[in-house]
């Protein structure tokens, strides 16, 4: 905390630069990060392995540096804290993604779920909700689940 205060005092333009970079994140990247953080924390345990997988996935998918991933995740957490439900972020994803991209996102979310080797009831419930909001068939939900589970073992 002291580090952030000193950084701000010594470099006040840094905050402005961070704000500009946050504004440059696309709704697609922000909402993807939001879902990843939400599913990872749905079992009340955001493990270092889950966070590492999320960071790698976001960096690769959106061509982000480590610092940009950190800013994106911080912003996603803020937005998630202000959300009452997932309808708004997922509806934005529905506008921007085709069915194949939504299935790929669902697979990534399942991989995060299975990072710790087990499926919690809250995670399963949230995955069903996300698949429904993404307007994907139950078959897509099960196929991506089985694929992620197979790769996790």
Return the DSSP state at 86.
S
Say what the alpha-carbon torsion angle 92, 94, 98, 99 is, to the nearest 10 degrees.
150
Domain residue spans in the chain? 9-152
- Tokens 């202000």 belong to residue: 82
Contact 148, 110 (CB under 8 A): yes
This prediction's pTM: 0.84
> Is the per-residue pLDDT at 16 higher than 80?
no
Q: How far apart are alpha carbons 63 and 28 in whole angstroms?
A: 13
Of 38, 145, 53, nearest in space to 88 by CA: 38
Q: How far apart are alpha carbons 148 and 153 in whole angstroms?
A: 9
Q: What is the pLDDT of residue 3?
A: 54
Q: What is the pLDDT of residues 42-73, one digit of tens each?
A: 999 899 999 999 999 999 999 999 999 999 99
**With bands split at pLDDT 50, 70 and 90, how would you rate the model's confidence at 20?**
very low
CATH 1.10.3680.10 applies to domain 9-152: yes
Q: What is the pLDDT of residue 148?
A: 96
Q: What is the pLDDT of residues 70-129, one digit of tens each?
A: 999 999 999 999 988 999 999 999 999 999 999 999 999 999 999 988 899 999 999 999
């Amino acid at each position: 905390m002291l580090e952030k205060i000193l950084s701000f005092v010594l470099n006040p333009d840094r905050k402005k630069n961070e704000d500009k970079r946050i504004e440059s994140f696309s709704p697609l990247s922000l909402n993807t990060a939001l879902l990843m953080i939400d599913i990872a924390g749905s079992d009340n345990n955001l493990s270092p392995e889950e966070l590492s997988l999320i960071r790698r996935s976001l960096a690769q998918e959106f061509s982000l540096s480590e610092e940009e991933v950190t800013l994106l995740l911080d912003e996603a957490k803020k937005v998630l804290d202000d959300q009452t439900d997932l309808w708004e972020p997922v509806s934005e994803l529905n506008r921007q993604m085709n069915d194949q991209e939504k299935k790929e996102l669902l697979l990534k979310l399942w991989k995060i779920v299975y990072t710790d080797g087990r499926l919690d009831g809250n995670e399963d419930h949230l995955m069903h909700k996300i698949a429904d909001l993404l307007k994907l068939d139950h078959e897509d939900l099960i196929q991506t689940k089985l694929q992620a589970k197979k790769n996790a073992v």
